[in-house]
Amino acid sequence: MTKFQEVVAKAKHIAVITGAGVSAESGVPTFKGEGGQWKKWQYQDIATPEAFSRNPSRIWEFYHHRRHLVLTQKPSAAHLALAECESRLRKHGRSMVIITQNIDDLHRQAGSKHVLNIHGSVMETRCVSCGEVAVNHHHPICASLEGKGSPDPDIPEADIPVDQLPRCEQSDCRGLLRPNVVFFGETLDSHLLTKVEKELDTCDLCLVVGTSSIVYPAAMFGPQVASRGVPVAEFNMVTTPKTEYFM
């Protein structure tokens, strides 16, 4: 612990990699947790680009439910501590970036300013026509989703006509919006990954918090930093496959 404090005291730019563990404490079920099921579907069968093209109403109901869960939760002690730490560092000309796999937006709600959401955010939309990405905290996001999205398989689906689902607010577009999250089977945003690489190449301390380092590419971020000889500290409840790389 003393060694860790010395390293922290010297660090000018800290990269923090977070995962489901920081949000589990807030009560937000993760993709893999809680049986990973909504109505009768497994998440990996419903959070896909094919499922969205086939039945955008179903996928919007599912994300409406997820947004509801996020909006009724508060940031955890871990989210708040990281936001506080960033704010203190900034006062001394030092910096922190959070690179998160979570899509729940709780880091930003906790007050963190510099957050890279590598899997996107349920609080953002992306237009399938013009590509516009926008932050959207309206709940429900459109009138037709009011009271919908129950995970109970016995409650029938809403089958909302596509013109009543969330639509792009660009006046000459009005295209269908989708949640700005990385669906199963999609690749990560390459611009965002370039930013992540830059942060990993320039940080002088890396913290890995609440992630089991199993999901790629995030699983390699810590080892990548460690291979430059930069200290990496892991904060997890259990030993993970990458623990051997870290201090």
Residues forming the annotated binding site for Zn(2+)? 127, 130, 168, 173
Asked if omega into 140 is within 30° of 0 (cis), the reply is yes
Q: Which of 69, 142, 60 is closest to 103 using CA atoms?
A: 69
Instruction: Select from 8, 175, 195, 235 the one that contacts Zn ion (CB under 5 A).
Output: 175
114 is catalytic: no
Contact 51, 58 (CB under 8 A): yes
Residue number, 127 or 207, with CB nearest to Zn ion? 127
198 Cβ contact list (under 8 Å, min separation 6): none
Check binding of 130 to Zn ion (CB under 5 A): yes
User: Which window, 99-107, 121-129, 181-189, 193-201, contacts Zn ion (CB under 5 A)?
Assistant: 121-129
CB of 168 to Zn ion, least distance (A): 3
Residue number, 96 or 168, with CB nearest to Zn ion? 168
Residue number, 127 or 200, with CB nearest to Zn ion? 127
CB of 163 to Zn ion, least distance (A): 14
Instruction: Select from 173, 192, 193, 220 the one that contacts Zn ion (CB under 5 A).
Output: 173
Catalytic residue among 64, 79, 107, 119: 119
Token pair 């992306």 is at which residue? 126
Known binding residues for substrate are 63, 66
Distance CA 221, CA 231 (A): 12
Q: Compute the half-sphere exposure of residue 245: CA atoms within 13 Å on the CB side of its CA.
A: 21
Distance CA 18, CA 107 (A): 10
Check binding of 168 to Zn ion (CB under 5 A): yes
Per rule CB under 5 A, count of chain residues that contact Zn ion: 8
Instruction: Select from 53, 170, 239, 243 the one that contacts Zn ion (CB under 5 A).
Output: 170
User: Which window, 44-52, 60-68, 126-134, 226-234, contacts Zn ion (CB under 5 A)?
Assistant: 126-134
Instruction: Select from 42, 53, 72, 129 the one that contacts Zn ion (CB under 5 A).
Output: 129
Exposure of 218 by Cβ count < 10 A (0-12 exposed, 13-18 middle, 19+ buried)?
Answer: buried
> Residue 117 pairs with which residues in a beta bridge?
100
201 Cβ contact list (under 8 Å, min separation 6): 228
Check binding of 127 to Zn ion (CB under 5 A): yes
> Residue 133 pairs with which residues in a beta bridge?
126
Binding site for Zn ion (CB under 5 A): 127, 129-130, 132, 168, 170, 173, 175
Q: Which residues are catalytic?
A: 119
